[in-house]
Amino acid sequence: MRLQRFLARAGVASRRGSEDLMTAGRVTVNGLVATELGTKVDVDRDHIEVDGVPVKLNQGAVYLMLYKPTGYLTTMSDPQERPCVADLVPRNRFPGLFPVGRLDRDTTGLLLFTTDGDLSQDLLHPSKHVHKTYQALVDGQLTDRDLDQLRRGIELDDGLCQPAICRVINAREAVAVAPQGVKPGTTAVEVIIREGRKNQVKRMLGKIHHPVIRLHRCNFAGLELEGVAKGSWRELTDREVQILKSGGIPPKQASAKRNGDKPQDTPASRTRHHGSHGSAPKRNTYRERYTG
């Protein structure tokens, strides 16, 4: 089996991401650095490591969600030793864990992690149209005309955005993004997009002259931060994993689920865990997956 295929099947990264790891000299086979993309391995006999961490094929894929607080970079390592999301998730317990996409340093909310490179690629690929729901606190008063522009599609430097689903929300709904309330001269708005461009929501709102003060992601593909405190994580339930593998729940169905379904009991093995905010343990430098 080719080494990059082995790494992808083990959940370290996608096939292309695994090739990047190899060419960067971060993969060893039996103690020797393997940079040749044609390298083949015997999965039963060879000892493979990435950044010094052993990788095995028989480890099952892992899926979890983090309630990302502000001030953390979406990366599994940072040369400048700045706080990053790797400090908040059990990367030593689950080798090969990486974030699905990214949230900006000052953005809070739902961030998925997995060791399943194929699923991550599916969730992030533009053709899949996976919905992501954000709450934004913006400067100024949003008008119906502003909302209509978002619903029609905003023209940005990198092209026309797909139409967004959006509405103004009240202070009770916006507690995650406006914990002190929605003050005069500001507006809380919910924006649902199905693209993943860099800083997209901020740029869309900035284009209509309502710069973002705070941004929070509350839903990804129909999954929400149920039972997760800020800075904490939990493993996904089997049902949540199946939702992701089926492409997610469209916004209307997700809303109906919130209004009509009782939340599932979380198995004891999947209860939330709190990240360490005060210290930065040694980081596993597996390659993170970024999509803007």
Residue 52 CA, chain-centre distance (Å), reads 25
The reply to whether 216 and 226 lie within a common domain is no
In the predicted model, what is the mean pLDDT of residues 218-237? 95
In the predicted model, what is the mean pLDDT of residues 81-109? 92
The reply to whether 216 and 251 lie within a common domain is no
Q: Is 201 domain-assigned?
A: yes
Q: Are the beta carbons of 176 and 214 closer than 8 angstroms?
A: no
Per-residue pLDDT at 248: 92
The reply to whether 86 and 50 lie within a common domain is no
Q: Please state the pTM of the whole predicted model.
A: 0.70
State whether residue 251 is helix, strand or coil: helix
In the predicted model, what is the mean pLDDT of residues 57-74? 89
Q: Is 157 a catalytic residue?
A: no
The reply to whether 45 and 71 lie within a common domain is no
Find all residues with CB under 8 Å of 254, minimum gap 6, and list them. Answer: 131, 133, 219, 222, 224
CATH of the domain at 49: 3.10.290.10
Catalytic residue among 87, 104, 116, 146: 104
Cβ neighbours around 238 below 10 Å, total: 12
Per-residue pLDDT at 254: 57
Find all residues with CB under 8 Å of 255, minimum gap 6, and list them. Answer: none
Q: Is 19 domain-assigned?
A: yes
Per-residue pLDDT at 270: 43
Number of domains in the chain: 3
Instruction: Point out the domain boundary residue: 175, 202, 220.
Output: 220
Q: Identify the domain containing residue 82 by its residue range.
A: 63-125+222-274
| Averaged pLDDT of the chain | 86
The reply to whether 140 and 182 lie within a common domain is yes
Is the Cα torsion angle 237, 239, 240, 245 positive or negative in sign?
positive
Per-residue pLDDT at 66: 98
The reply to whether 194 and 236 lie within a common domain is no
Q: Kindly give the pairing relationship between strand 132-139 and strand 159-160.
A: unpaired
| 91 pLDDT tier (thresholds 50, 70, 90) | confident
CATH of the domain at 158: 3.30.70.1560
Q: How far apart are CA 172 and CA 245, in angstroms?
A: 32
Give me the amino acid identity at 79.
P
Q: Is 203 domain-assigned?
A: yes
> What percentage of the chain has pLDDT greater than the value 90?
67
Instruction: Point out the domain boundary residue: 158, 189, 220.
Output: 220
The reply to whether 26 and 98 lie within a common domain is no
Per-residue pLDDT at 257: 54
Instruction: Point out the domain boundary residue: 179, 199, 220.
Output: 220
Per-residue pLDDT at 56: 77
In the predicted model, what is the mean pLDDT of residues 76-96? 89
Q: Is 119 domain-assigned?
A: yes
Say which DSSP state 20 is in.
H
The reply to whether 258 and 114 lie within a common domain is yes
| 237 pLDDT tier (thresholds 50, 70, 90) | very high
The reply to whether 214 and 169 lie within a common domain is yes
State whether residue 232 is helix, strand or coil: strand
Q: How far apart are CA 63 and CA 106, in angstroms?
A: 24
CATH of the domain at 104: 3.30.70.580
- 56 against 164, higher pLDDT: 164
pLDDT digits (tens, 9 = 90+) for 189-200: 999 999 989 999
Q: Is 289 domain-assigned?
A: no
Cβ neighbours around 104 below 10 Å, total: 18
Using only C-alpha atoms, what is the Rg of the chain?
Answer: 20
Find all residues with CB under 8 Å of 239, minimum gap 6, and list them. Answer: 264
The reply to whether 79 and 46 lie within a common domain is no
Q: Is 280 domain-assigned?
A: no
Give me the amino acid identity at 75.
T
Q: Percentage helix, strand, coil, to 5, in the chain?
A: 25, 25, 50
The reply to whether 43 and 172 lie within a common domain is no
Per-residue pLDDT at 284: 39
Q: How far apart are CA 94 and CA 78, in angstroms?
A: 19
pLDDT digits (tens, 9 = 90+) for 242-291: 999 999 988 765 555 555 444 334 333 344 455 444 433 333 333 333 33
In the predicted model, what is the mean pLDDT of residues 107-130? 93
Q: Is 254 domain-assigned?
A: yes
pLDDT digits (tens, 9 = 90+) for 163-203: 999 999 999 999 999 999 999 999 999 999 999 899 999 99
pLDDT digits (tens, 9 = 90+) for 3-47: 998 888 776 777 888 899 999 999 999 999 999 998 999 988 899
> What percentage of the chain has pLDDT greater than the value 70?
85
The reply to whether 140 and 199 lie within a common domain is yes
Buried residues in 250-283 as b, exposed as e (16+ CB within 10 A): bbeebeeeeeeeeeeeeeeebebbebeeeeeeeb
Q: Is 149 domain-assigned?
A: yes
